Structure 1
Amino acid sequence: MMNRLTIDNRKTAKPLSVQNTDRIKDKGFGDTFNRAVKKVNDLLNNADNSIEQVVNGNLGIQEGMLNIWKADTSLRLLLQARNKALDAYKEIMRMQF
């Protein structure tokens, strides 16, 4: 059961403001895509390291497979984004001005 004090405090509570001072300023699609490529590359390198660690017994098979799955899924998504961007570029090039 709520008392009056709790209800009054909810009315005066202010939402938290999110300060994004560290946010990277995008200069365009190319910068965003380059960051995505670097992230996928990092995930692929992490998957390679995970394989070595599983073979050496330093990492469990579940964790190693999870890292491989993340890298595989990220790479597939990146390839789909690339294909869509190329299709859009080809469509623009076919336009008559």
Structure 2
Amino acid sequence: MSNLLDRVGTTQNFNEETCGRVKDKKEKTFNVKFGERLRKALEEIDTLQEDADKLSKELAIGHNAPLHETMIALEKADISLRLFIQVRNKVVEAYREVMHMQF
């Protein structure tokens, strides 16, 4: 009987340690501010657009820029910008809803 209780106690300690690790990991990921995440996303979009512009200019001049890589870069930049605009629209919409709430 005591052997069974020892096993249960060991399992409980293991679960507490595991839960503690998961909690620490969650705290680290959610510590970044939302505005900081938006700023980083915007910087990444800017980099994607600069890369796409560079490739399209090289293609227009006649350098050896592969057409498929240029098109992929242009589409990545376009899709990223569209996604960012949709996120911005949702944030503005949520802000307006909160402003219209009555407490």
The two structures have a TM-score, normalised by structure 2, of 0.66
1:46 deviates by 0.8
How many Å separate the matches in 1 of 2:55 and 2:31? Answer: 32
One-letter code of the match for 1:91?
Answer: E
Match of 1:31 among 36, 47, 51: 36
Alpha carbons of structure 1 residues 37 and 92: separation in structure 2 relative to 1, 3 Å: same
One-letter code of the match for 1:34?
Answer: R
Aligned pairs for 1:31-50 within 5 A = 31-50=36-55
Kept after mapping to 2: 8 A contact 1:40/1:75: yes
Match of 1:52 in 2: 57
Q: Which is helix-richer, 1 or 2?
A: 2
Which of structure 1's runs of 4+ aligned residues deviate more than 3 A? 23-27
Gaps of 5+ in 1: 1-22
The structure number with the bigger radius of gyration is 2
Kept after mapping to 2: 8 A contact 1:26/1:32: no
Alignment RMSD: 2.0
The two structures have a TM-score, normalised by structure 1, of 0.70
Q: How many residues align?
A: 76
Give identity over the alignment, percent.
Answer: 36
Gaps of 5+ in 2: 1-27
* Deviation per residue, 1:66-90 (Å, 9 max, x gap): 1000000100100010000000000
Aligned pairs for 1:10-89 within 5 A = 26-56=31-61, 57-89=63-95
Kept after mapping to 2: 8 A contact 1:43/1:70: yes
One-letter code of the match for 2:95?
Answer: Y
